[in-house]
Amino acid sequence: MRIDIITVLPALLESPLSHSIVKRARERSLVDIVVHDLRPYGKGTYKHTDDYPFGGGAGMVLMIEPVYRLIEDLKKERTYDEIIYTSPDGLAFTQKEANRISCLKNIILLCGHYKGIDQRIRDHLITLELSIGDYVLTGGELAAAVITDAVVRLLPGALSDGESALTDTFQDNLLAPPIYTRPASFHGWEVPQVLLSGDPVKIQQWQEKESLSRTERLRPDLLTDLSE
Ligand code: ADE
């Protein structure tokens, strides 16, 4: 898979995409992540990438020309399955959407800009708008990092068997069961006895029961989704 990320703040994306499972996936060439600085595509001597909004109002708006030119350059090299814009008014990014995107070959993530982007970019260049939650970030970079992380860990080979994404919270609309490690007893706080029993059938039954009761208690909406 290849992920091209377009941003005016490339430094914001460096660290989240250079550690842990995403780093390993990149090293193993499971994913090619290329962060593009929009600035060189900017206008004039100062390489402006934003401008005042028509009709007035506070804040600067990301211009269409730099974005158009960069996307056109990328499209010359390959075909993109989705060109995604990160925005609080996009569709909710869910595990289901992460699963779907992880099966695509080439995607572009255009990071949103604090005051917004020229609507014509959204109307004519973007194929999908995604929000990572009902709150407003200063820009779309952290949202792009979240989407990339959630997608990359699903790529075949990114996780070891023990880390398998199949047992993740949300994968079957259930929260994951609680997990424990040594010591089995700490200040009188005990690990559930069944986990120490060595009986895989009993352990699995317990985990399924815990998953369900946790979901009923903490996220009943997930169970409603299931019956729809
Ligand atoms: N940009 C700003 N806020 C955002 C959000 N909640 N999701 C995606 N992109 C954003």
Q: Is 143 in the pocket of ligand 1 (CB under 6 A)?
A: yes
pLDDT band at residue 170 under the 50/70/90 scheme: confident
| Block residue for tokens 């019956």 | 227
DSSP-based three-state secondary structure for 164: coil
User: Of 14-18, 54-58, 163-167, 205-209, which range is least confident?
Assistant: 163-167
pLDDT at 224: 86
Quote the mean pLDDT of the chain: 95
What are 65-79's pLDDT values in tens digits? 999 999 999 999 999
- pLDDT band of 162, cuts 50, 70, 90: low
- Indicate the CATH number for domain 2-152: 3.40.1280.10
pLDDT value at residue 75: 98
* Residues of the chain above pLDDT 70, percent: 97
For the segment(s) 169-227, the CATH number from 3.50.50.60, 3.10.350.10, 3.30.420.40, 1.10.1270.20 is 1.10.1270.20
> Which atom in ligand 1 lies closest to the alpha carbon of residue 114?
2
Q: Rounded to 5, what percent of the chain is helix, strand, coil?
A: 40, 20, 40
Domain boundaries for CATH 1.10.1270.20 within the chain: 169-227
| pLDDT, tens only, 79-131 | 999 999 999 999 999 999 999 999 999 999 999 987 899 999 999 999 999 99
- Residue 87 Cβ contacting ligand 1 at under 6 Å: yes
Cis status, amide bond into 53, omega within 30 of 0: no
132 lines ligand 1 (CB under 6 A): yes
